[in-house]
Structure 1
Amino acid sequence: MATWIVFLRAVNVGRRSYPMAELRQTLTDAGYANVETHIQTGNVRLTSGLRSRAKLEAAVEKVLEADRGFEVPVVALTPVELAALAADVEIISSTDPPSGGHYVSLLKATPTAGATGTIEADPPDGERLVVRGRSVHLLYDKPYHEAKRSNAWVEKAMGVATNRNAKVIRALAQKWGS
C-alpha cells in the first residue's frame, strides 16, 4: 500500500461544498484506507494500492465527481515529497522573507523549463515567484488579494494547480510528512 497526500482544488468555495466528514466517508467507501483530513480546504491523507500518481489522481477525481456532481481536480504528493516541499518553504522564506505572505501552488504536472522561466520572469512589484519541482512559491510583500500573480495566473501558465499557504504546508508536513 502506498500513502498519498491529496490536495483537492477549489472545494468549499462558492457552491463547491464538500464537508470533510463526507469526503472521508466517500473515499473510505471507495476502498481507500487510513483516510484523514486536515482543515476544510481539501487536504487528505490516504493509503491505496495504486502506486502511480497519475492513476491515483484519476481514480480519486472519478470518485469525487461521481459523489459531488462536479469535477474536483486533485494533486497528489507522497509523504517524502511533502516533507521536501516543507523544507523548500523554509529555505525560500528564509532567503528573503515576504512581508505579505508565502503561498504555494501545487501543480499536477512538472513544468517545462520554458514555463518555469516565464513564471519566474519579471514579476510585478512586491511579488516573487519561485518554481521548485511541481510547486510554485508565491511570495508577496502585499496582501494576497492585491497580488497580480495568483494561483489563477499560475494555472493559465502551467495547467491545473491548487494553492495553500505556507502555514498549512508546514502543518501538513509535521502531521503527514516523512
Structure 2
Amino acid sequence: MSQGTKHLWGVFLRGINLGKRQMKMAELKACLEEAGFTDVKTVLASGNVRLTGEGSAEAVKARIEKAISDAFGFKVGVVLRSEQEMDAMLKGNPFGTLDPEADLTRHIIMFDADLPKGVTIESRPGDTEILRVDARDVYIAAYKQPNGRYTEHVEEVLKPLYQKIGKGNLDTMRNWNTIEKILK
C-alpha cells in the first residue's frame, strides 16, 4: 500500500486489560487520534479498534505500537488487518456450514506473520473443530463442554501448531462476533 494514501484498518491488541496491563478504550482512542489516526472506533473493551491511517501495514503497526507504549507505559502486540483482508474474512466465512442450532462459539486466531505452508491442525469433532487454516488465520468452532466452557480444549488442539511455529509469531484470538462488528 502506497505512502500518502489512507486506508481502513482493523487493529487487534494482544493481552490488554489483564493484570496490570489495563487501558480504558476512551484513552486508547485518544492515544491513537493523537498519533494521527482518524475515524478511530473501539469495539468492546478487549483492544479491538477500527481506524483510518496513512502508510504501509508495517508503518501503521509501528506507529500504533509506539503510541500505545508511550501513552500506557507498556508494550502491546498488535495484529493488523486491512479493510480488504477483513472483507475477505467476512465473505469467506467458514462458519456458515455449522449447525445453527449447535451450542458453540466461533473464533478466529489471527497471526502477525504467515503460518508455515501446508500446516494442518487436527480437530476434535463436537469439541474444538478447525474449520479452516489460511495464511495468517485459523477459524475455530468451539462447542460447549460439560463444565460449561466452550474453549476448554483450544490450547490443546493448537499445541502442535505452536510447537511448529515457535514463540516468535504473535497471535491473538477473537470471537467471530467481534470481527463482524469491526467493519460495521
Q: Same fold (TM over 0.5)?
A: yes
Q: What is the TM-score with the length of structure 1 in the denominator?
A: 0.82
Amino acid paired to 2:75: E
Instruction: Spell out the pairing of 1:109-124 with structure 2 (5 A cutoff).
Output: 109-114=113-118, 116-117=119-120, 120=121, 122-124=122-124
Displacement, 1:144?
2.8
Partner SS state of residue 74, structure 2? coil
Gaps of 5+ in 1: none
**1:16 aligns to 2:26 (yes or no):** no
> Which residue, 133, 136, 140 being the options, matches 2:135?
133
**In structure 2, do the counterparts of structure 1 residues 152 and 72 end up closer, same or farther at CA, with 3 Å as the change threshold?**
farther
Deviations 1:127-151 (A, max 9, x none): 2222123211121223334124379
Structure 2 partner of 1:146: 152
The answer to whether the 8 Å contact 1:101/1:144 transfers is yes
Partner SS state of residue 144, structure 1? coil
Q: Distance in 2 between matches of 1:105 and 1:70?
A: 23
Displacement, 1:105?
0.7
> Which residue, 71, 84, 106 being the options, matches 2:75?
71
Instruction: Spell out the pairing of 1:1-178 with structure 2 (5 A cutoff).
Output: 1-50=6-55, 52-89=56-93, 92-97=94-99, 99-114=103-118, 116-117=119-120, 120=121, 122-124=122-124, 126-129=127-130, 130-142=132-144, 143-149=149-155, 153=159, 157-158=164-165, 159-173=169-183, 175=184
Partner SS state of residue 113, structure 1? coil
Percent identity reads: 29
**In structure 2, do the counterparts of structure 1 residues 77 and 148 end up closer, same or farther at CA, with 3 Å as the change threshold?**
closer
Range 140-149 or range 104-113, more displaced:
140-149
Structure 1 partner of 2:3: none
Q: Distance in 1 between matches of 2:164 and 2:14?
A: 17
Amino acid paired to 1:164: R
The runs of at least 4 consecutive aligned structure 1 residues that moved more than 4 Å come to 150-158
Deviations 1:4-37 (A, max 9, x none): 1111111112221110110011111112222111
Q: Distance in 2 between matches of 1:165 and 1:150?
A: 18
Gaps of 5+ in 2: 1-5
Q: Distance in 2 between matches of 1:3 and 1:40?
A: 20
Aligned-residue RMSD, C-alpha: 2.3
